[in-house]
Each structure stands twice: as C-alpha cells, then as structure tokens.
C-alpha cells in the first residue's frame, strides 16, 4: 500500500529525514514512533504531498505521490479539524464537498461516516456539545468520509481518558477489519503494543529499528526485566555485572536485563549480602525497546 525508499529531506543544513525506507502492507496497522523532532510530521507531510522530498521514492498503491494520490489518503491530525459551531453532519458535509463528493453519494458517505464512529444519534448536535472522546471520533469520521485506502492517525488518543481511548482503539481495529491501511503515530507505547502489527522507531530522521513486537524484543539481549530497589546501587550493579545482568535506568528505577529466566529464589541469592528492599520482575515491553533505541545514554 505505502512504499518509501531512501527518502531524504533537509531544511538548510538540518537533516530531517535520512534515507528513510519502509513499506506498509494493505490492511496493516503500522506504528511510527519517535521523540519530538524525529521526522514523523515531515514524513506525513510528504506522504500527503504537502511537502516535497529532496530525494527518494514514495508511492501509494504503486502510484508516485502527487495530487492524484490525495483522494487515497485520509488524515486525522492531532488537533481536531472541527468547526465547533456546526453540527456533526454539517462538518462532514463541508469536508465531503472539499473531497469532491456530490449529491446522494455525499449524503450517503456522511451518514456512513457517522455510523462508523458511532455518532449517528449526534448528527444534528453542534460539535461544541460533544465530549472530548466524541470530538476525536468526529475527527476520525472526517478522515473517512471520502473512503480512503490509507488513513493516517496522528496521536489519536492524546489527552483522552481511558474509556475514550478504548473506544478509539476499537474503532481503529474495525477499520483494519474493513481492509483499511493505517499509519499510526503515538507517544503512548501501550497503544502501539495493542494495535500495531509492525512498529518503526524513528530518531533524527533515521529508522533505527523495525518489526513486530516479537521481532523487536529480539533486538535486546533480555528475557526479562528486573527492577531492584536498594540503598547500595553501586554494589548491586557490580554484583549483577558478574552474573551477566546488564544495568539500565528507567526514570529513577534501577533495572537489570536478565539473559535467561530464573526462579525468584535464585535471583535473590545472586544479590546475597546486599541490602535489597524489593525486587520486581517485568516482561520486556515496547517501552524498554523504545528507550534503548532513542535514549542517547544507551547509544
């Protein structure tokens, strides 16, 4: 569905994208992750033909990106594209006309889009009267109104409570079941874990790692993460090193990568003589992988 090869973009001397290469298959949810300034927004703007790359190839459905490919793309940006004094139906009619939908077809698509995001009963309601979660769903409806093949979701659940997030997640999965391809950007790593078949980690315009969660887990030599609280961290790190445990910090937590699964009593015995307040075992999660590739201290 989407093919990007050796994409480069700079602003003056600042390199924003450096040989970015990735492919997203039809019906796939692909998560593009990275810190602020990594190049995610620039990539989206190039896909949408709002910005021209310096070099490289980018194609949607085997068509080079151009004005002709714009109807294939729907975008739900982080900031809602909503006119709050207009009703949900009026908003959708407005954007449908921009996409060139006319007459009966436009009216049918407006109703279908409202139904797709479970807002049919609020069709006549001014957007200003909707909850934050409903407004995010309306933002998604606008991206769907012209029946795109590729939908770009930029931080779709930022600022929402957990119930609203679950609603958006279910809508995204419904879109996938309908065969729509989704490019998702998010800073919520549990969101990417739940939704994405594959994940790319972008930093300084370079794709540092890519694959399914299972494939990304293979990129770090840990079977398990051990979080240790102790008043003598220096000795704990020294002792762990003797057993081949790799020390890492996650915020203010001292953690160790365990190269194999061990029984709890065996773990405790390896810190014998060191005052340990608590030991917690965690699976290797996307957050651990993400930090490893994006934290300059681990470079």
Same domain, 143 and 251: no
- One digit per residue, the tens of pLDDT, for the chain of length 299 reads 999 999 999 998 899 999 999 999 999 999 999 999 999 999 999 999 999 999 999 999 999 999 999 999 999 998 888 999 999 999 999 999 999 999 999 999 999 999 999 999 999 999 999 999 999 999 999 999 999 999 999 999 988 999 999 999 999 999 999 999 999 999 999 999 999 999 999 999 999 999 999 999 999 999 999 999 999 999 999 999 999 999 999 989 999 999 999 999 999 999 999 999 999 999 999 999 999 999 865 54
| 151 and 114 housed in the same domain | yes
Domain match, 133 and 7 both: yes
For residue 183, is it within any domain? yes
Do residues 100 and 152 share a domain? yes
Q: Quick one: 229 and 125 in the same domain?
A: no
Using the structure block, give the residue that is written with the tokens 């980018």: 58
In a domain, 40, yes or no: yes
Domain count, the chain: 2
CATH of residue 257's domain is 3.30.70
Please tell me whether residues 67 and 150 are part of one structural domain: yes
- Residue 86, domain member (yes or no): yes
Q: For residue 190, tell me if it sits in a domain.
A: yes
pLDDT in tens, 270-292: 999 999 999 999 999 999 999 99
Same domain, 202 and 268: no
**Domain annotation covers residue 57:** yes
CATH of the domain at 177: 3.40.50.300
Return the HEC string of the chain.
CEEEEEEEEEECCEEEEEEEEEEECCCCEEEEECCCCCCHHHHHHHHCCCCCCCEEEEEECCEECCHHHHHHEEEECCCCCCCCCCEHHHHHHHHHHHCCCCHHHHHHHHHHHHHHCCCHHHCCCEHHHCCHHHHHHHHHHHHHCCCCCEEEEECCCCCCCHHHHHHHHHHHHHHHHCCCEEEEECCCHHHHHHHCCEEEEEECCEEEEEECHHHHHCCCCCCEEEEEEECCHHHHHHHHHHCCCEEEEECCEEEEEECCCCCHHHHHHHCCCCCEEEEEEECCCHHHHHHHHHCHHHC
Does residue 116 share a domain with residue 143?
yes
pTM above 0.85, yes or no: yes
Domain C-terminal end among 163, 181, 216: 216
Count of CB atoms within 10 A of residue 221's CB? 10
Domain stop point among 216, 242, 274: 216
155 and 202 part of one domain: yes
171 shares a domain with 28? yes
User: Cα dist. 128→82, 86, 93, 97 in Å?
Assistant: 9, 8, 17, 22
Asked, for residue 292, whether it belongs to a domain, the answer is no
Rounded to an integer, what distance in angstroms lies between the CA atom of residue 194 and that of residue 150? Answer: 20
- Residue count (the chain): 299
Residue 201, domain extent: 2-216
What pLDDT is stored for residue 299 in this prediction? 47
Is 50 in the same domain as 179? yes
In a domain, 298, yes or no: no
Q: Are 145 and 99 in contact (CB under 8 A)?
A: yes
- Of 199, 216, 233, which residue sits at a domain end? 216
Q: Which residues, in sequence order, are CB contacts of 295 under 8 Å at separation 6+?
A: none
Q: Give the model's pLDDT for residue 61.
A: 92
Indicate if 228 and 271 belong to the same structural domain: yes
Which pLDDT does position 166 carry in this prediction? 94
């Amino acid at each position: 569905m989407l093919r990007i090869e050796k994409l480069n973009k700079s602003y003056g001397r600042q390199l924003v994208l450096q040989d970015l290469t990735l492919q997203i298959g039809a019906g796939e949810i692909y998560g593009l992750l990275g810190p602020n300034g990594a190049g995610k927004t620039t990539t989206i703007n190039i896909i949408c033909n709002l910005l021209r790359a310096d070099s490289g190839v980018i194609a949607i459905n085997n068509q080079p990106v151009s004005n002709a490919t714009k109807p294939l793309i729907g975008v739900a940006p982080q900031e809602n594209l909503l006119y709050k004094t207009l009703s949900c139906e009026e908003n959708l009619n407005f954007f449908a006309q921009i996409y060139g939908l006319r007459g009966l077809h436009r009216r049918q698509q407006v109703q279908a889009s409202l139904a797709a995001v479970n807002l049919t009963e609020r069709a006549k309601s001014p957007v200003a009267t909707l909850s934050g979660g409903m407004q995010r769903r309306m933002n998604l409806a606008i991206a769907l109104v012209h029946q795109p093949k590729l939908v770009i979701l930029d931080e779709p659940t930022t600022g929402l409570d957990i119930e609203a997030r679950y609603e958006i997640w279910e809508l995204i999965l419904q879109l996938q079941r309908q065969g729509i391809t989704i490019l998702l950007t998010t800073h919520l790593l549990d969101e990417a874990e739940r939704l994405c078949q594959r994940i790319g980690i972008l930093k300084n315009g370079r794709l540092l790692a890519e694959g399914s969660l299972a494939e990304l887990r293979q990129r770090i030599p840990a079977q398990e993460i051990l979080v240790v609280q102790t008043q003598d961290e220096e000795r704990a790190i020294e002792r762990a090193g003797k057993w081949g445990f790799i020390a890492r910090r996650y915020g203010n937590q001292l953690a160790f990568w365990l190269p194999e699964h061990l029984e709890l009593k065996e773990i405790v015995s390896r810190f014998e003589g060191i005052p340990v307040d608590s030991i917690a075992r965690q699976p290797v999660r996307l957050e651990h992988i993400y930090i490893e590739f994006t934290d300059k201290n681990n470079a």
